[in-house]
């Protein structure tokens, strides 16, 4: 993760935290700022979680065959060799 990307993630986390704290404070004083029932919120969160997991599993390299597992090992070995070469100034 780059430093800039780390800052963006931290800012998003902070914004989400502030929204949640403000929402909780409003609920505590008796005003519900979200016009959803608890069941609707559960259904929405469940749907989003399902979609995220579906996209994540599709995106990830899922090696289902022996050939794919072997190819993945070869690819990782080549990447390690390339990293070593770059660290040593082009010398393996």
- CA–CA separation, 72 and 65 (whole Å): 11
What pTM was estimated for this model as a whole? 0.44
- CA–CA separation, 36 and 11 (whole Å): 27
- CA–CA separation, 60 and 87 (whole Å): 28
pLDDT of residue 88: 76
Residue 4 has pLDDT above 90, yes or no: no
More confident residue, 7 or 78: 78
What ranges do the domains of the chain cover? Answer: 1-60, 63-92
Mean pLDDT across 7-33:
88
Phi and psi (nearest 5°) for 88? -95, 15
User: pLDDT tens for residues 37-91?
Assistant: 888 988 999 999 999 999 888 877 677 788 888 998 999 999 999 888 887 776 6
């Amino acid at each position: 993760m780059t430093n800039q990307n780390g800052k963006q993630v931290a800012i998003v986390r902070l914004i989400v935290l502030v929204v949640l704290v403000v929402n909780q404070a409003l609920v505590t004083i008796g005003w519900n700022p979200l016009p959803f029932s608890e069941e609707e919120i559960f259904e929405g969160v469940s749907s989003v979680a399902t979609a995220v997991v579906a996209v994540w599993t599709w995106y990830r390299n899922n090696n289902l065959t022996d050939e794919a597992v072997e190819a993945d090992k070869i690819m990782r070995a080549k990447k390690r060799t390339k990293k070593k070469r770059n660290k040593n100034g082009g010398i393996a």
